[in-house]
Amino acid sequence: MLDHVLTRHAEIRMRQRGLRDADLHLLLDCATQVAPDAYLLTRKDATREIARCKRKIQQLERLSGRKVVVDGETVLTFYHSRPKDQRRTLRRGRAAQ
């Protein structure tokens, strides 16, 4: 998506309506283009994006505690890391930095 330039009028209206730049970017990313110069976030658009976010949350919950070891672009292994291994890995990782 291209970054849009806000007019002074648009900046004032956004502030008055409690909208943030992030809201504008989200709307432009997710909404349906209803005219060459207009976008509308429909219930269907919102439901689709909410479902996509929920799937991502479920995936993150499922992958929590997993460890992947890489060498450059090559994946060497992928496994469930036990709490003791996680503490040791985090401790060593901080010491190496």
- How confident is the model over 69-87, as pLDDT tens digits? 999 999 999 999 999 988 8
Residue 80, helix vs strand vs coil: strand
pLDDT of residue 94 exceeding 70: no
The stretch 30-59 carries a mean pLDDT of 97
Q: How many residues would you count in the chain?
A: 97
Asked if the structure places residue 45 within a domain, the reply is yes
Asked if residue 43 and residue 23 are part of one domain, the reply reads yes
Q: Work out how many domains the chain is built from and give that number.
A: 2
Let me know: does 25 contact 31? Beta carbons within 8 Å.
no
Asked if residue 72 and residue 53 are part of one domain, the reply reads no
Distance of CA 34 to the CA centre of its chain: 25
Asked if residue 77 and residue 56 are part of one domain, the reply reads no
| Banded model confidence at residue 95, pLDDT cuts 50, 70, 90 | low
Asked if residue 14 and residue 54 are part of one domain, the reply reads yes
Mean pLDDT over all residues of the chain?
Answer: 92
Range of the domain at 85: 65-96
Give the integer Cα–Cα distance in Å for 56 and 68. 18
Q: Output the pTM of the full model.
A: 0.72
